[in-house]
Amino acid sequence: MKGEGYSPWVASLLILPALVGLVLVFFVPLGEMFARSVADPANYVKAVTSAPNIRSFVYTLWLVAVIALLTVVVAYHWAWLMSRASGWRLGALLFLVLVPFWSNLLVRVFSWTILLRDQGPVNNFLAMVLGGLRFELMGNSLGTIIGATQICLPFAVFPIYTSMKRIDRNLLLASNSMAASGFFFFRKVYLPLTVPGVVAATVFTVVLSVGFFITPSLLGDPFQLMVSQVILVQTTEMLDYGQASAMSVLLLLVTFVFLGVAGLFFPVFRELGLEEDKRVR
């Protein structure tokens, strides 16, 4: 099938305008930031030796792990419900998960600040049920986790749902007929078949939440900042662009190391049909 498609000349004419724009608007600024960060090696020394900086990295990784775990578990359950539903039930489940997907992140976080405060509706409800017990639901890690998990969930539900729908019905029937049921069936047959979806869901969740800024700013611990918040403080309050740039480069590095590991499991290019060595049609 060689000789199909546009010549490199036509292809580059189509691709270059957008690519040049992207390089100028996106990559040149990132390069400028990188240049600022390495202009003075002290930036990196400070980034990896100063206690608040290290603490913010450790705290971010810890929070991301908790958020990812919670998100994947809840999303798995919702996707499982969706995979077994049909008709109006499927429609309702789909609608419910699409509401947070399409509504504004900031609006939802703003809404949580009303819902989760000490005298807010959630605490009033809990006090009613638990006989007067009230909790600190925001202004701490819990607030960030509640807000962030809700934001990540839709991105985790769909890849898991897709992997569940790909499972061959006959396989499930066969396992049932061989009396493999309950937890054993789930662990040995169902879960392994949905691993690609779980991996994709984890990747989306981690990439999203590692950069969260609005959620921890409005709902989180004011004394323990995530890396994104530290970067903003260093930029706008300390006007220390070099230090903020070094922290940004390190945050990027963390993201890319994670993506590199995940990329071994998740064939992005094959999914898009852009793999260079095309399979025989």
Partner 1 sequence: MSARLFRILSAALAVVTGLYFIVPTMVVFWISFTAATELTFPIRAYSVRWYERFFDSTQWAQATITSVLVAVVATSLVTVLGSAMAVGLARGRFKGKKLIVLSVLAPVLVPPVVIGLGMYVQALKLQIVGTFSVLVMAHAALCLPYVVLNVVTSLRTTDETTELAARSCGAHPIRAFVSATLPVIVPGLLGGAVLAFAVSWEETVISSFLATSRTQTLPVVILQQTSYDLDPTVAAAASIVTVISFAIAILFAASRNLTGTRLRKKKNELA
Residue environment code for 173-212, b if the CB has 16+ CB neighbours within 10 A, otherwise e: eebeeeeeeeeebeeebeeeebebbbbbbbbbbbbbbbbb
Which residue has tokens 């769909």?
158
Count, residues in the chain = 281
Q: Which of 38, 48, 99, 133 binds partner 1 (CB under 8 A)?
A: 99
- Residue 65 within binding range of partner 1, rule CB under 8 A: no
Residues 153-172 that bind partner 1 (CB under 8 A): 153
- Residue 108 within binding range of partner 1, rule CB under 8 A: yes
- Closest contact distance (angstroms) between CB of 217 and partner 1 is 7
- Closest contact distance (angstroms) between CB of 163 and partner 1 is 18
Helices (H), 166-240: 169-177, 182-185, 191-193, 195-210, 214-219, 227-232
Span of 61-69, 129-137, 161-169, 273-281 interacting with partner 1 by CB under 8 A? 273-281
Q: Looking at beta carbons only, is 29 or 41 nearer to partner 1? A: 29
- Residue 239 within binding range of partner 1, rule CB under 8 A: no
Q: Looking at beta carbons only, is 166 or 278 nearer to partner 1? A: 278
Half-sphere exposure of 148 (CA within 13 A, CB side): 35
Span of 45-53, 108-116, 135-143, 167-175 interacting with partner 1 by CB under 8 A? 108-116
Q: Which of 90, 189, 255, 266 binds partner 1 (CB under 8 A)?
A: 255
Q: Token pair for residue 145?
A: 């986790």
N-terminal to C-terminal alpha carbon distance within the chain: 9
Q: How many Cβ atoms are within 10 Å of 233's Cβ, its own excluded?
A: 15
Q: Which of 97, 138, 198, 201 binds partner 1 (CB under 8 A)?
A: 97
- Closest contact distance (angstroms) between CB of 62 and partner 1 is 17
- Closest contact distance (angstroms) between CB of 71 and partner 1 is 11
